[in-house]
Copies of this chain bind each other. A is one copy, B any other.
Amino acid sequence: MKTRDKILLASLELFNERGERNTTTNHIAAHLAISPGNLYYHFRNKSDIIYEIFQEYEKLVDYYLVIPDDRPLTVADMTFYLESVFDGLWSYRFFHRDLEYLLDCDPRLRSDYRDFTNRCLAAMKTIFEKLAEAGIVQEQPEELREVMALNIWLVVTNWMAFLKTAHGSTGDEGLSLTALKQGIYQVLTLEMPYLMPEYRDEVLAIREKYRPVLPEQRDSVVA
């Protein structure tokens, strides 16, 4: 594997584990057992590394959110969208953690991220539309779809942060797959009132699979 790619990979790993703020370029180099000079041979600066990682993230999510235009959407599609998006979010979780600072540092990133957000919101709106066409959710006015999409976006992008702040101790330890998936439960709860009777039970059954074992795990998960 090329050094350049190794740098990207190690950066992502360290950013996710310890936060971008706590990860210096020297740390990254040390982690790979290469010299700082070497790192700066491959990247002009730290921002460039972050920018490139963002672009991967963007590509991944765009790929996940492709909407078939030759067939109606199914409940399975909806589940897949949710699962995928949370997976993507998990893989690049450092990004949403320090989002505001990162955008302040890099105007390119700010404008790209804005476009990215709008693209995601638009995709969500289309998904709603097609779910309505498929008779899974009720038809809704354009405007409501828009506001709903935004609410779901807020829940999805901040679910991870909530888990990390609401739970005990410091790090990732407490963040299990179960907890992660409770995010899907949250989103499906938002959609619930809009489900068509014919599909209501099916979707509720899926939702049930993501229900947290404990109603609310408010204690530290560490032993």
Contact = CB atoms under 8 A, between A and B. Distances in A.
Contacts of A9: none
A193 interface: yes
A100 B16 CA distance: 12
Q: Which of A143, A144, A166, A215 gathers the greatest number of chain B CB atoms within 10 Å?
A: A166
A100 B161 contact: yes
B147 A154 contact: no
A114 B166 contact: yes
B104 A19 contact: yes
Interface in A168-211: 168-170, 185-186, 189-190, 193-194
Nearest to A159: B154
Interface string A93-116: 000011111011000001101100
A151 B100 contact: no
A165 B114 contact: yes
B146 A215 contact: yes
Contacts of A189: 144, 147-148, 151
Given A114-B167, A151-B186, 17 more contacts: A19-B101, A22-B104, A100-B164, A100-B165, A110-B165, A113-B165, A118-B166, A147-B185, A150-B186, A151-B151, A154-B159, A154-B186, A155-B155, A157-B158, A158-B158, A190-B190, A193-B194
22 contacts: A19-B100, A19-B104, A21-B21, A97-B100, A98-B98, A98-B101, A100-B161, A100-B164, A110-B168, A110-B170, A113-B165, A143-B215, A147-B186, A150-B186, A153-B162, A154-B154, A154-B155, A154-B162, A154-B186, A158-B158, A190-B190, A193-B194
